[in-house]
A and B are shown apart, each in its own frame.
Chain A
């Protein structure tokens, strides 16, 4: 990480909602640069506006003020270069694993043979080989989340947003999935913005960790984490980083 080529530049980004009780500020003045091929972790307490921030980057919500630039030009609406793995297990229940995975290229009108091949390679990569014809109702939570990841990759985004993808999983599965995501990222380098409320997960995965305050989401601190991968979660350095972040955190996360 020497040549810091900026891919995504967020400046003065704010979002507020008009509610019955008046104005509600969800995200306040975020300034952030995201570098090429980095694994950036956004760490913040529950309900602080992380999803709102990601939705804005994904073009699903309009910022109240500020702007987001991808490779120098302001993004408007959803952009194919930015993909997302959703916090909720957002699979189409009427589609099989294969059909869910290939949905991006399918919407773009890519030929069946071609998109199937691509989808298959990511289904294999996330370890779901043999489940192509299964429906979401037949899968466990971890498997569904793997489909979500395979789907995002199949759409071939340059920047991948992951919104607490493992929040709903048990500790065991969660750790396995963290290792998987790291493995896939090392195999297929691309820029990842990963949201979590778990300090250990953040330290395990992130090149840089952006710590957010309580709602409205404001940036508190950015930690650079250059421990060697795969990280040893009980090593001295790891625990030190973890303690440092946790001392600076608003709430017991």
Chain B
């Protein structure tokens, strides 16, 4: 009897099935979850007073595409509002935090200069910036983006800092014997070495940004997914709350997926 070895896992874990089977398993997982949820409500094991059925949520989702009640904006508008805030804050955090971390990790002077400021700012919970931000910037896009920025900035700095610190001494030596200047080594050896850790940081930043977004919108906003949840509570509409939660969850997963694709592109050499 011939037996094909299809196990592609580098460590040989698991049974090794066709990729198609794995995709199907993931889909089946979600469907099972929804099915059990629906079943519990239909059979009355769980009361449907405070929890909506998946089918109801689905219908609400479709309706919310044009319906503005009760929070005053349709779902696409709310989503767009949230995305704008999250992306603005996150992008700002990445473009400032990652270079700062890299520079601090490489140049001792920069490390000594920025570290004290950073160490004091670091333990302040991002959410505690909300009251001040409202005073300074109101409740517009800038204010919320600022709060997101703080939530996402810290992991960007910490991880790129740690990543570049772990650059192998011998690779630096290779570059030196090849006649590279300190800046060239930083740019061509340090930064690529730091990439895997940096991406892990961006992943954390993404999660932080998204979860802080809801908190920020709950306190200060007039549109957005977090705001929608808040309004759902005011109007005693558990279905609206749950729809908001599901949308946040799904978008978060989508973002993580997109980031994963980017990461594979850039750190594809780690196979």
Contacts and interface: CB of A to CB of B under 8 A. Distances in A.
Interface in B251-271: 267, 269-271
A155 B175 CA distance: 11
Secondary structure type dominating chain A contacts:
loop
A93 B174 CA distance: 13
Contacts of B269: 93-95, 135-137
B202 to A, nearest CB: 17
Size class of the contact patch on chain A: 20 to 34
Contacts of A78: 176-177, 179
A90 B176 contact: no
Secondary structure type dominating chain B contacts:
helix
Interface string A70-100: 0000000010101110101010111100000
A107 B180 CA distance: 6
Given A93-B269, A94-B195, A137-B271, A84 B170 contact: no
Contacts of B177: 58-60, 78, 82-84, 155
A104 B179 contact: yes
A58 to B, nearest CB: 5
Interface of A: 55, 58-60, 78, 80, 82-84, 86, 88, 90, 92-95, 103-104, 107-108, 135-138, 151, 155
B173 interface: yes
A220 B9 CA distance: 52
28 contacts: A55-B173, A58-B173, A58-B177, A59-B176, A60-B173, A60-B177, A82-B177, A83-B177, A84-B174, A86-B170, A86-B174, A90-B170, A92-B171, A92-B189, A92-B192, A93-B269, A93-B270, A94-B195, A103-B174, A103-B178, A107-B178, A107-B180, A135-B269, A136-B269, A137-B269, A138-B271, A151-B174, A155-B179
A163 to B, nearest CB: 10
Contacts of A107: 175, 178-180, 184, 188
Given A107-B179, A107-B180, A108-B179, A90 B270 contact: no
A137 to B, nearest CB: 5
